[in-house]
Structure 1
Amino acid sequence: MNNEIQMVDLKSQYLKIKPEIDEALLNAVEGVAYINGPQVKQFANSLREFNKVASAVTCANGTDALQIAMMALDFKPGDEVIVPAFTYIATVEVIALLGLVPKFIDVIEDTFELDHTKLENLISDKTVGIIPVHLFGQCSNMEAILSIAKKHNIAVIEDTAQAMGAEYIFNDGSKLFAGTIGDIGTTSFFPSKNLGCFGDGGALLTQNIELGEKVHIIANHGQRKKYYHEAIGVNSRLDTIQAAILDIKLKYLNDYSFERQKVAKKYDELLNGLQGLNIPAKAPYSTHVYNQYTCRIENNRRDELKIYLQDKGIPTMIYYPVPVHLQDAYQVYGYKEGDFPVAEKLCKEVISFPIHTEMKAEVQDYIIENIIGFFN
Structure 2
Amino acid sequence: MKRVVITGMGVISPLGNDTATFWKNVRNGKSGISTIDLFDVTDSKTKIAGIVRDFDAEGIFGKKEARKIDRFSQFALAAAEQALIDSNINLDKIDRERLGVYVGSGIGGIQTLIDQVNTLNEKGPRRVSPNLVPMMIANAASAQISIRLGALGPSMSPVTACSIGNTSIGEAYRAIQHGDADVMFAGGAEAAITKLSLASFGNATALSTNNDQPTKASRPFDINRDGFVMSEGAGIIVLESLEHALQRDANIYGEMIGYGASSDAYHMVASHPEGNGASQAMNKALNDAKIAVHEVDVISAHATSTTVGDISETKAIKHVFKDHAYNIPVTANKSMFGHMLGATGGVEAIALLQSLIDHFIPPTINLEHPDPQCDLDYVANEGRHAQLNIGLSNSFGFGGHNAVIILKTFS
TM over 0.5: no
TM normalised by structure 1 equals 0.23
TM normalised by structure 2 equals 0.22
